[in-house]
Structure 1
Amino acid sequence: MTRVFLIHALRESVQPINTAFDAHWPEADRANLLDDSLSADRARDGELTDAMIDRFLILGRYARDAGADAILFTCSAFGPAIDAVAADLAPMPVHKPNSAMIDAALAHGGRIGLMASFAPTLQSMLPEFPDTTQIVTRHCAGALEALAAGNAAEHDRIAAAAAAESFGDCTLVALAQFSLARAARAVGEATGLPVLTTTECAVLALRKQVEG
């Protein structure tokens, strides 16, 4: 059985990715590592520091030493740190949370509406798209705070309203965080557009690489 370590910087990411595994790869042996000080420190610092990258390397090596066959990071605001872990642990599969969704969005084409509830995610993700990509970004302020307070319905309402306000000329909505996946239906209903989630795309891509 494949052992997959899921490494989280937001506690709100734990449930959505495990739900996606239940749906798309239930056979995987999952282990969850959570350090929510990572997201707090990332927001405080305003940039990805060398010290933060070192912390990611420690987490990756811990997962390796605990028997991981693959690692999936679940917070999209730490791209270069995840790249460092992937290089350190090669050839073990180490996946970013957003790479598979970006590939799917680019394959769809058109103008992409990219939404995040954690503002640093947009800063981290945009360089991963080709320069020629037509993209509109939106930070749905207040959604993550609502979810953290236990108000999932308000989280979904804020996300849907922000998408409807910002993505009228888009052909696709991409929800940039695992914690936003639960709002996919509401966003789709509000915009009338197809909606991609990082959770489903990430699980399917990792399973394909591991199992062939």
Structure 2
Amino acid sequence: MTRVALFHTVAALTGRFEELADEYLADAEWYHVVDESVLDDMLDAGELTPNVTERICTQLALAQRGGADIVLDTCSSTSPAVDVSRKLVDVPIVKIDDPMTERAVEIGDRIVVVATAASTLGPSKDLVERKGEEAGRDVTVETVLVDEAFEARRAGDLEMHDELVSEAVEDFADDFDVVVLAQASMSHLESSLFERTSVPVLSSPDLAMEHIAELVSASP
């Protein structure tokens, strides 16, 4: 049976992905790998340092040694480290934002990337632009940081987090063709934001797990 490793930098997201794994990965074995220290150190440094990149690569390599046939990296901020890891690991490593950003460039040319963590903005914007180039699309990508929402969530105030993100998206959504929620921690707002803005709003977890399920089905 195919084994899938889910690599997280936020332990609180494991419950959400357990629900998704039960839904999408009935034909596979799966397990979590969690290292919150890499995201904490990225936030402290304000960038993805060589030390953090090396540690992420180590975690993803260990996932393969642990028997994983497929690895899903659920952290948007670590996207550049996945590019390095793919040169070192022999099994497929999927970035959580890969399917979402591919869908975004299919939907429209004016795309806004919304994040609550500054470390996510650069990697997510770069990924959307890269997917646009690969698809032969001339896309314009803007970014919006709602850092107050990040602090609210860290303080345990999910209601304030949701209110801040929702208000921010409502303010600018009509200027774009599609809104991309750059972190899995905002995914629960996808449907309500679409209703409040009437603009397509994309989040990553479901699309990523659908893609992983496709890879599992295609596995020998």
Q: Return the TM-score normalized by structure 2.
A: 0.88
Shift of 1:199: 0.4
1:19 positional shift: 2.8
1:74 aligned partner: 74
Residue 146 (structure 2) pairs with residue 152 (structure 1): no
- Which residue in the other structure is 1:103 paired with? 102
Equivalent residue, structure 1, for 2:23:
23
Aligned: 1:194 with 2:203: no
Equivalent position to 2:183, from 160, 177, 181: 177
- Residue in structure 2 matched with residue 126 of structure 1 by the alignment: 125
User: What is the aligned partner in structure 2 of residue 11 from structure 1?
Assistant: 11
User: CA 1:167 to 1:136, structure 2 compared with 1: closer, same or farther past 3 Å?
Assistant: farther
Which protein has greater RCO, CA pairs closer than 8 Å, 6+ apart?
Answer: 1
1:45 matched residue in structure 2: 45
CA, structure 1 residues 83+38, in 2 after alignment: closer, same or farther (shift >3 Å)?
same
Q: CA RMSD in A?
A: 1.8
Amino acid in structure 2 at the alignment position of 1:118: A
Output the amino acid matched with 1:19: E
1:26–1:157 CA distance, 2 compared to 1 (3 A): farther
Q: Residue 148 of structure 1: CA displacement? A: 3.3
Equivalent residues in 2 for 1:134-149, closer than 5 Å: 134-149=140-155
Q: CA deviation at 1:203?
A: 0.9
| Greater Cα shift, 75-84 or 23-32 | 23-32
Q: How many corresponding residue pairs?
A: 211
Q: Distance in 2 between matches of 1:174 and 1:87?
A: 28
Provide the identity percentage: 28
After TM superposition, give the deviation of residue 145 of structure 1 in Å: 3.0
Moved over 3 A (4+): none
Deviations 1:74-115 (A, max 9, x none): 11111221112122112x111111111110101112322211
- Asked if the contact 1:100/1:205 (under 8 Å) is kept, the reply is yes
Cα distance in 1 between the residues matched to 2:39 and 2:65: 24
Q: Which amino acid aligns with 1:107?
A: E
**Conserved in 2, the CA contact under 8 Å of 1:12 and 1:147?**
no
CA contact (8 A) 2:111 2:177 kept: yes
- Quote the residue 1:62 is aligned against: 62
Instruction: Letter of the 1:163 partner, please give it.
Output: V
